[in-house]
Each structure stands twice: as C-alpha cells, then as structure tokens.
C-alpha cells in the first residue's frame, strides 16, 4: 500500500490521461498516472504521431518521383522501408520522453503497469514491476482509451492479418494488401502502403470513403486515390475471409454480386472499441452505454469519485477531443470551473490530399432542413497552391442563408489539416462569413482560399 493519499489517480497516459494529470498538477494537486506501456498512450506511440512520420516519408517519396516537374534532376529514387519505420518509431520515442518530462515537471508521479479500480478510492497495479501496489486516492480518472476493433473469427497474427498497430511495425511493404474500412485509419494506411509500391484494395461497407465527411470531399478523395493506383470499393462488404499460409482470400460483395480477392495481407480498420479489459474489480460496477463508459455533465461515471475522459467515453475518437475532455473533467472535479462539453471540433485525415472539416456536412444540413448557402473555392485558383504544384482540392463553406453564421467547413487539399483551425476559431466566436472575408488573408498563401470560399457564399468570390 502506498503511504501517499493522492488527490487524483489517472489510469492511462495517453492524450486524455497525461493532459488531465498535468492540468491537475498545475492546480497544485497530488497526482499519479498509471500507464500500461509508455507515456503518450496509443496516440503518441502507436497512432497519431508515428503514422504522421510514416506519411511524411511517403509524401516526400512521391514528391521526389515528380522532381522533373519542378525543374529538378534526380537520377534515382529509392527507399529503405526498414529505415522509414525506424524513423517513425524514433519520433514516437522522442515525443514519449517529452511527455515523461512534462509529467515530472508538474510533479506527477508516473508508474508503468496495468491498473485496476479495486474499490472507489483505491487503485491497484495488477501487472508490471509494481504489481501488487495499491494507491489511495480521492478521485480516479479513467483514460484508458481504445483498441482496434477486430473482425469476429479473424485473429490478428501480424503477418496475414494486421491492425494499425502491427502495420506500424511492418518490416517490408507487402506486394498486395486489402484494407477493410475506409475511415481515417484505413485511408491513411492505403496512401502510405500504395506510395511504397503495395497494390492496395480499399474496401468500405458504407457508400463513401471517409463516411463522416462531406460527400463532395469523399468523391474527390476516391477519384484521387484511384489515380494513384488504389482500388476503391465502396458500398461493399468483405465476407468469407480465408487465411492461408501465404495469402488471404476474401469475397467482395456489392449489390449481390460477389468477387474473390486474393492478397498477401489484410489490414483491419473497421473502428475501435473501449479498452476496458481488467479495468474494474468485481466490486466496481460502472455503467456502460454501447460498450463505452457513461458519464454525466461533470464527466463523472455512475460510481461517485470515478471520472472518465477521452475515447473511453465514445465518439468522437480524436486525440484533441480526448485532451479537451480530460481538462474539463479535472477542472470540474476540483471546482476550478464548470465543465464544458465537446462542441465544435476539427476532424483531420492526413493522406494526400489532406482532408479536414468542422461542423455539419451538406447532407446533414439538408436532413435537418436548414436554410443554408454553400460557398466553394478551388485551390486551382490559389497562386500559392499552383506555385507549389499541389493545387487539387477545394474549401467548402456551409453558412446560414440569412445570418451568414458558419455551420460547417470542409477542406480537401494541401495542408487542409492546418487550414481548418481558422474556421474552428471563427465558429467558436460565432463569426459570420462576412467577418471571415473581411479579415485580410496574406498573399500568396493557401489561406486565401478560406476568405474566397466565404465570399463565394454570397456569389462574390473574386478569382473564380
């Protein structure tokens, strides 16, 4: 039994866990974090950060292949896949050390091991070097995040069947790959492996890739992927998956028609589920909702003194949303401020072209019978994009027809994930499209498309 009585014990050291712990430390509280693997959690070690390192290598490789279009002479372009992966792992390691430093700086005690809520007010480590250690605490924050959802009857072996985690440690690109699921994870890995020579087949059961995004964005991304050589099948089910010694066979079923596909590897990217295994003893009964931990307006679970934040709560499953939720939970539990709920947030996909959005899609606006107007501006009319040789895509703004209030923004193109921030701020400040286009955007920049799209809502865009 630890002699220390903590103000807060956080279970999980990912974007929700470590951020919540640091905020509690800033408030002068005695805090401990227990992380099963390494500080930073899945996002930093096996998700957001290492995948972006891989995608940067893929993007650069693709750029080198078209060097002649920039007036450059490159005699030979090649790659060392093992080094690409090693760089990704190195980036993750560097960032994890940074998180460990921040925890120490804020006087947060950090422990590695698998934790269990033994009873309210007590946490124990059930696996790891500190196994058998008990922590007494006034509050508990559950931030164990998520894990990839598996396909029933299809065990992951890391060779024939992978999830994103195994793909991040691949030693070589497979010759052929089927990716089941075309959400952000599936789309990003499709771009990455295709860039390094894998013949990729991307399969999505719903009618479009990136199902949560605007239809126009999804259609353009699919066309772009097909130009890159990726076979895209939407509205298609993957059935009868047979794993052999040297390949995997599966049936692609669309509108009753069946086609057999044989590939070297299958990557399953059908979504995620809460990481709840071993989190509660038999004495702790936390209410769940469709497999996720149910919380109230204060982020408190059905068990008093036990809170939850991040992916464990359910969608949206985004690192930046998880961090926001954790800060709100901590500030609320210690009476610093009234907790806020997630409102406006950006969704980002880091393939090329990039995709970013916030607010409602046009389809959702129609379903809600909103009175809206659309402003759309292509990057082909933006000087900076043309000069950079990367002008595919557009900015699409959905605004209230009467007031000009911004209801949703959808961007596909170069640096879309960076550009979306302006509209997120604007929507939080309840700005209108008039205030966007009245803000002078530097020339030449990609951000000019943001202002022109706002003008386009009124049919006043200058450069189209």
pLDDT band at 265 (very low <50, low <70, confident <90, very high): very high
Q: What is the pLDDT of residue 1?
A: 62
Does the pLDDT at position 57 exceed 80?
Answer: yes
For the stretch 325-347, pLDDT in tens is 999 999 999 999 999 999 999 99
pLDDT score of 188: 97
What is the dihedral angle through the alpha carbons of 188, 190, 195, 197, rounded to the nearest 10 degrees?
150
So what's the pLDDT on residue 38? 87
> What pLDDT does 4 receive?
83
pLDDT in tens, 27-52: 999 999 999 988 898 888 888 899 99
Chain-wide mean pLDDT for the chain? Answer: 95
Structural Rg of the chain based on CA atoms: 24
The model's confidence at residue 2, banded by pLDDT at 50, 70 and 90, is low
Q: Are 65 and 139 in contact (CB under 8 A)?
A: no
Could you tell me the domains of the chain? 5-148+273-333 (3.50.50.60), 161-270 (3.50.50.60), 353-457 (3.30.390.30)
| Catalytic residue IDs | 443
Predicted confidence (pLDDT) per residue in 288-319, tens digit: 998 899 999 999 999 999 999 999 999 999 99
Environment class of 37 (CB within 10 Å of its CB; exposed 0-12, middle 13-18, buried 19+): middle
The Cα–Cα gap between 342 and 314 comes to 12
Strands, E assignment, 314-391: 347-349, 354-359, 372-378
Helix (H) or strand (E) holding 216: helix 215-228
Pick the closest to residue 260 from 201, 183, 304 (CA basis).
Answer: 201
223-244: average pLDDT:
97
Q: pLDDT tens for residues 142-171? A: 999 988 888 888 999 999 999 999 999 999
Give the pLDDT mean for 281-291. Answer: 93
Work out the average pLDDT over 98-118: 96
Instruction: Round to whole Å and give the CA distance between 218 and 1.
Output: 54
Q: What confidence category does residue 230 fall into, taking pLDDT thresholds of 50, 70 and 90?
A: very high
Share of the chain above pLDDT 90, in %: 91
pLDDT of residue 75: 85
């Amino acid at each position: 039994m630890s002699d220390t009585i903590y103000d807060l014990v956080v279970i999980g050291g990912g974007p929700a866990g470590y951020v919540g712990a640091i905020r509690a430390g800033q408030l002068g509280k005695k805090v401990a974090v227990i992380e099963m693997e390494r500080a930073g959690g899945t996002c930093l070690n096996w998700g957001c950060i290492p995948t972006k390192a891989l995608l940067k290598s893929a993007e650069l490789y693709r750029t080198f292949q078209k060097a002649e279009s920039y007036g450059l002479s490159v005699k030979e372009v090649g790659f060392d896949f093992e080094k690409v992966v090693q760089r990704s792992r190195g980036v993750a390691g560097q960032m994890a050390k940074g998180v460990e430093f921040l925890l120490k700086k804020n006087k947060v005690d950090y422990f590695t091991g698998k934790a269990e809520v033994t009873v309210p007010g007590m946490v124990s480590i059930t696996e790891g070097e500190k196994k058998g250690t008990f922590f007494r605490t006034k509050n508990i924050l559950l931030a164990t995040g998520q894990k990839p959802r598996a396909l029933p009857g299809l065990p992951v072996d890391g060779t024939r069947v992978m999830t994103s985690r195994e793909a991040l440690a691949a030693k070589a690109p497979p010759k052929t790959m089927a990716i089941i699921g075309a959400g952000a994870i599936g789309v990003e890995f499709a771009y990455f492996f295709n860039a390094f020579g894998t013949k990729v087949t991307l399969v999505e059961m719903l009618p479009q890739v990136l199902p949560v995004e605007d239809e126009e964005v999804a259609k353009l991304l699919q066309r772009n992927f097909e130009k890159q050589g990726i076979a895209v099948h939407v509205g298609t089910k993957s059935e009868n998956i047979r794993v052999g010694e040297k390949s995997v066979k599966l049936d692609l079923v669309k509108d009753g028609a069946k086609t057999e596909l044989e590939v070297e590897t299958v990557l399953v990217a059908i979504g995620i589920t809460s990481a709840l295994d071993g989190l509660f003893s038999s004495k702790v009964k936390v209410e769940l909702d469709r497999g996720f931990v149910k919380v109230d307006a204060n982020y408190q679970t059905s068990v008093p003194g036990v809170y939850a934040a991040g992916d464990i709560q359910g969608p949206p499953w985004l690192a930046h949303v998880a961090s926001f939720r954790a800060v709100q939970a901590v500030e609320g539990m210690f009476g610093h401020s009234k907790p806020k709920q997630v409102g406006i947030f950006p969704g980002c996909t880091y393939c090329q072209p990039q995709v970013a959005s916030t607010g409602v899609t046009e389809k959702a606006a129609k379903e809600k019978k909103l009175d809206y107007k659309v402003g759309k501006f292509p990057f082909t009319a933006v000087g900076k994009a043309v000069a950079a040789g990367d002008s595919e895509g557009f900015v699409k703004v959905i605004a209230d027809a009467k007031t000009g209030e911004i209801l949703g923004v959808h961007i596909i193109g170069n640096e879309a994930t960076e550009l979306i921030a302006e509209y997120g701020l604007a929507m939080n400040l309840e700005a209108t499209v008039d205030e966007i286009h009245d803000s002078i955007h530097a020339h030449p920049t990609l951000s000019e498309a943001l202002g022109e799209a706002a003008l386009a809502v009124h049919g006043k865009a200058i450069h189209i």
